[in-house]
Amino acid sequence: MITIGDILSFEKTFNIVIPSSLKRLYLKYNGGEVEFSDASTYDFASIKYGELTLGGLVQNLIIDENVIPGNFLPFAVTGVGHMITIQMDSVVNNKIYLFRYDELEPILLANSLEELLGVDSIDEL
């Protein structure tokens, strides 16, 4: 389990504000396998603990390699290594996109994390 303090520490370190729905999901499940509404199971990065961390994804994909724009937060990985991200900016917030290595543009998967997970609220999980 993680605490809100762990999330706040991540946000301070990377100067990122995690959308509230994703924060609630992290507080319930700090990473691991998550089944999405399309019945696919993806590896969900953890805030801390384990090999696949949110900080590692941000460092590698946004800061070091610059392959994902800074207004997208990668939080899960598909079985073939594509990134599931949540968009974070003032105009469009919380839409979920897939970044594929063989595509130039991100693909919209869902209008919200809840829609992607097939629930009305993260609290239902």
pLDDT for 66-82, tens place per residue? 999 989 999 999 888 89
Instruction: Out of 23-32, 62-71, 115-124, give the one with best mean pLDDT.
Output: 62-71
Structure tokens belonging to residue 6: 């762990």
SS3 14: helix
Distance from the first to the final alpha carbon of the chain: 15
Quick one: pLDDT band at residue 30, thresholds 50, 70, 90? confident
DSSP state of 113: H
Question: How far out from the chain centre does Cα 39 lie?
Answer: 17
What pairs with residue 74 in β-bridges?
A: 85
Residue 100 CA to residue 80 CA, distance in Å, equals 9
**pLDDT-based confidence at residue 38 (cuts at 50, 70, 90):** low
CB contact at 8 A, 113 and 86: yes
Q: Give the integer Cα–Cα distance in Å for 105 and 125.
A: 31
- Average pLDDT value for the chain: 88
Model pTM above 0.95:
no
Return the DSSP state at 73. E
- 48 secondary structure, DSSP code: S
Q: Regarding predicted confidence, which is higher, 7 or 30?
A: 7
Percentage of the chain lying above the pLDDT 90 cut: 53
CA atoms of 111 and 30, how far apart (whole Å): 22
